[in-house]
Amino acid sequence: MPEAFEQDYTLQQLQQVTQAINNGQFVQVRRILAETPPCDTALLLESSPNKIRKQLWQLVDPDIQGDVLEELSEDVRIGIIHQMDPELIAAATEDMDDDDLGEVLRSLPDDVYQDVVGAMDAQDRERATQALSYQEGSAGALMSTDTVTIRPDVTLDVVLRYLRLRGELPDGTDDLYVVDKENQFIGALPVATLLTKSPDKVVSELMDDEKETIPVSMDESEVAQLFERHNWISAAVVDDNNLQLLGRITIDDIVDVIREDAEHSMLSMAGLDDEEDTFAPVLKSSQRRSIWLGINLLTALLAAFVASFFESTLDILPILAVLNGIVPSMGGVAGSQTLTLVIRGIALGHINNTNQKFLLGKELAIGALNGILWSLLIAGVVALWQWDFVLGAVIAFAMFMNLLAAGIAGASIPIILKRMNIDPALAGSVVLTTVTDIVGIFAFLGTATLFLT
């Protein structure tokens, strides 16, 4: 379904459902939701204001509530789960994949978590314990234990008969994993090979014994990079000794990781949570945004404090107050360009200890080249406008210095923050703005004080 058509279709559904709820036609809403796939139901919930969302959720068939919860963003899912009784949460999570089960349980407050686990049967309680034993954001938290394993010494005919008895394959199965009696990973047999080779062939003759595996503790972003690099559909997860097969990760989970990383990078630069509910309550959204607004206010006050040192200069030459915003603004834009590229490079794994010096040198050269170009341009404009060539030279020098500083800061700040285990996407833009504002103001007004007063 084309994206534009899908969006129009969802909008029509939302309008239809909202109108039916407002008219009290709950039977019709229940019928619409029964005919809607869980992924589209999740989209309807995420697209609805909080009041409508609560009514919609009460009309969702309990048999598919677990499937809908899997599709929801974290913030919306938490809001819905907090409305549910522990017994209903336990029932909804009964058929979830292990990775989705762990994600849901991690979002619960401790007291609710204990009640939910207490309402589970022994098998689901064991699954929950296993799912939560892996660190959030690791390969273990992404994997599912639903795998198909075979022995290396059997024929393809035996494997085919085993699969027929099994009845179905887990979603996204493109490989069968070959293990020994101790469940140690030996290799993988592609399903395509199983279907196209002679049934008399033995698995060990056809399996890929060099198939790359994923350590259970690997970071999910690194896992996503491996999937992207190798075009995998699924991959086996093994223990940190690279021996025991623990589960597998499929491409649908990796798509979620890639999307979340992209949303995180985009929204973090604005000081927003990547899982924030678009229709969250006003007070909750205001509290989240106030943190970064407060930090931004502090940086603005710091820049104003620097400018206050040159108050007498501004009194003598009011034109400086008119021109004072140009230099920091240009530095901010130039620095943001570099910052964005470097953060992207870090996220993709392109930047490491071996190429950081080259990157800094490159951005220094770009800053110098842009500084020469735009400082000459602004010098000509200001000199002709005010018919003051010294003023033109002053703003040119300040522009050059700030663009140089912007290039260095834009490249170095994300690297330094990463080494300090601080998210560059979250804090980088605030630090960069502070640097370019202070350097720009100080270079312009300081130079003006020396040569124009």
The answer on 288 and 264 residing in a single domain is no
275 part of a folded domain: no
**What pLDDT is recorded for position 340?**
84
| Summary mean pLDDT of the chain | 83
Average pLDDT over residues 401-408: 91
In the three-class reduction of DSSP (H, G, I as helix; E, B as strand; rest coil), residue 244 is classed as strand
In the three-class reduction of DSSP (H, G, I as helix; E, B as strand; rest coil), residue 117 is classed as helix
For residue 25, the domain's CATH number is 1.25.60.10
Domains held by the chain: number: 3
Using the predicted structure, report yes or no on whether residue 362 has a pLDDT greater than 60.
yes
Q: For 136-176, what is each residue's pLDDT tens digit? A: 888 988 888 889 999 999 999 999 999 999 888 888 899 99
Confidence bin at 180 (pLDDT 50/70/90): very high
137 part of a folded domain: no
Average pLDDT over residues 253-269: 73
Q: For 43-93, what is each residue's pLDDT tens digit? A: 888 888 888 888 888 888 888 888 888 888 777 888 888 888 888 888 888
- CA distance from start to end of the chain: 68
Residue at a domain's end among 132, 161, 176: 132
The answer on 124 and 211 residing in a single domain is no
Token pair of 276, please?
Answer: 């924030």
Sheet containing strand 245-250, edge to edge, reads 214-215, 234-238, 245-250
C-alpha–C-alpha distance, residues 206 and 164, integer Å: 20
The answer on 33 and 119 residing in a single domain is yes
Q: For 197-232, what is each residue's pLDDT tens digit? A: 999 999 999 999 888 999 999 998 889 889 988 899
Residue at a domain's end among 220, 235, 270: 270
87 part of a folded domain: yes
Q: Which domain holds residue 179?
A: 149-270
The answer on 301 and 437 residing in a single domain is yes
Residue at a domain's end among 132, 167, 194: 132
Q: For 387-399, what is each residue's pLDDT tens digit? A: 888 888 998 999 9
| pLDDT: which is higher, 170 or 425 | 170
The answer on 292 and 408 residing in a single domain is yes
**Percentage of the chain modeled with pLDDT above 70:** 91
The answer on 220 and 170 residing in a single domain is yes
The answer on 29 and 114 residing in a single domain is yes
Confidence bin at 2 (pLDDT 50/70/90): very low
For residue 197, the domain's CATH number is 3.10.580.10
Of residues 342, 309, 299, 243, the one with CA closest to residue 433:
299
Residue 149, amino acid:
T
The answer on 123 and 156 residing in a single domain is no
172 part of a folded domain: yes
In the three-class reduction of DSSP (H, G, I as helix; E, B as strand; rest coil), residue 176 is classed as strand
Average pLDDT over residues 325-331: 87
380 part of a folded domain: yes
125 part of a folded domain: yes
C-alpha–C-alpha distance, residues 274 and 261, integer Å: 9
Confidence bin at 4 (pLDDT 50/70/90): very low
Q: Which of 188-202, 205-219, 253-267, 428-442 has the lowest mean pLDDT?
A: 253-267
433 part of a folded domain: yes
For residue 310, the domain's CATH number is 1.10.357.20
Confidence bin at 1 (pLDDT 50/70/90): very low
The answer on 263 and 287 residing in a single domain is no
Using the predicted structure, report yes or no on whether residue 244 has a pLDDT greater than 50.
yes
- Kindly give the interhelix angle for 38-46 and 3-22, rounded to the nearest 10 degrees: 70
C-alpha–C-alpha distance, residues 350 and 120, integer Å: 45
The answer on 446 and 341 residing in a single domain is yes
CB 75 within 8 A of CB 273: yes
The answer on 447 and 300 residing in a single domain is yes
Q: Which of 175-184, 215-224, 300-309 has the lowest mean pLDDT?
A: 300-309
The answer on 292 and 218 residing in a single domain is no
49 part of a folded domain: yes
**What pLDDT is recorded for position 243?**
81
pTM reported for the whole predicted model: 0.67
Positive or negative: CA dihedral 412, 416, 419, 421: negative
